[in-house]
Amino acid sequence: MGARASLGLVVVALLAAGCGTVTSPLPDAGRPLPLTNASDATPSNPSTTSSPSPALDCGDPRVSLRPPAVMPAPGAMPAESFMAKIAERGYLIAGVLSDAPPFGAINTAAGQGDGEDEARFEGFDIDIAKEIAKAIFGPDGADEKHLKFRALVNSERIPVIQNNEADIVVATMTTNCPRRTQVDFSVPYYEAQAKVLVLKGSPYHGIEDLGGKKVCSAAGTTSLQHVADAASHPIPVGLPGDGDCLLALQNGDVEAISTDDTILVGMVQQDPRTEIVGGVLDTEPDAVAVSLDHPELTRFVNGVLARVVASGRWDQIAQTWLGDIDPPLKPPPSPPAALYRD
């Protein structure tokens, strides 16, 4: 499915998460989690979320561990490595978002496995997770047998790694210094831009016009911190997911949304009454989160990402999920340069 068709999945994902009607071969923990009613939108203190103050300095947070000189073949993971343990278990657990098309969404209209009514995760992040699974298990690694998705809200991305409830998190997660004290990161696989979304006809033309106004971002995200740090002093409102913020805007509970431009364009496709305004608040290098206890998995993931870029697969994924966006993203998507610390 192309990006244009996928972008309409945000409401489907929200309904599936709220009603709990999505059938899935995953355990209950892997199903979409309940979302807060958007009408309950209240100001949020970003310091209480899983994204600490960005005062720490780790140098360049985009720098990661160098991949192996020779990548192991699928089915032949190094003994005692975490990849070998994943292979022995039989499946990779990937934490993803379910309400953030075109990067992560649930398409309830698409059959999965043997059940015609079962849901399927789709998006840019989903395809990255599939490439990692295939590198461990082989061509069938992307099948449900070998790849289990855990649907998350943004504030759960770090805890599921720390609590060993997911092996990787691929969920538009920005790598930064505070987060690097809690989890490890791959090199970035995408670089987004934080921007602002408002209803058409509103008097707001950027974050500078939103002083004293409620601006929504998903709790536990760098976007919420950007809102709190804005010189115009908007009121940050943190809700569980990006889809909640869209509902809050539609209901008049907030005046604007701030998150990655790639997520905002999905919202514009879903609701043409909205528009992206103003300039770039910050760049958001999205990377794969991995436990600090498994540096070998970080190196392995970086090797997979290097191969995805070199083979042209990255361009295929970008075309599938971002190629049909209207208006197109500017600048056009391109893979970030890989930087290694060793």
Interval 161-215: pLDDT, tens: 999 999 999 999 999 999 999 999 999 999 999 999 999 999 999 999 999 999 9
Give whole-number Cα distances, 6 to 72, 116, 123, 246, in Å: 34, 18, 8, 16
Average pLDDT over residues 33-40: 35
* Higher pLDDT among residues 52 and 292, named by residue: 292
State residue 180's pLDDT score.
97
pLDDT at residue 6 above 70? Answer: no
State residue 332's pLDDT score.
87
Classify domain 193-282 at the CATH class level.
alpha beta
| Alpha-carbon torsion (200, 318, 103, 64), positive or negative | negative
State residue 52's pLDDT score.
41
Q: Which two tokens stand for residue 30?
A: 């892997």
One DSSP character per residue, 115-148 reads BTT--EEESHHHHHHHHHHHHHH-GGGGSTTTEE
Alpha helices, DSSP H only, in the chain? Answer: 3-6, 9-19, 82-89, 124-137, 157-162, 177-180, 222-229, 242-250, 261-270, 295-310, 313-322
Can you identify the CATH homologous superfamily of domain 3-37+72-191+286-322?
A: Periplasmic binding protein-like II (3.40.190.10)
* Higher pLDDT among residues 8 and 170, named by residue: 170
State residue 58's pLDDT score.
86
The closest of 258, 160, 247 to 209, measured between CA atoms, is: 258
- 193-282 has the same fold as 3-37+72-191+286-322: yes
**pLDDT tens track for 116-135:** 445 699 999 999 999 999 99
pLDDT at residue 50 above 90? Answer: no
Domain boundaries, the chain: 3-37+72-191+286-322, 193-282
State residue 225's pLDDT score.
94
In percent, how much of the chain has pLDDT > 90?
74
State residue 64's pLDDT score.
98
331 pLDDT band, cuts 50/70/90, is confident
State residue 43's pLDDT score.
58
The strand order across the sheet containing 99-100 reads: 99-100, 104-107, 120-122
Which amino acid, 182?
Answer: Q
State residue 327's pLDDT score.
73
The lowest-confidence range among 10-19, 136-145, 167-176, 223-232 is: 10-19
State residue 321's pLDDT score.
95
Quote the pTM value.
Answer: 0.82
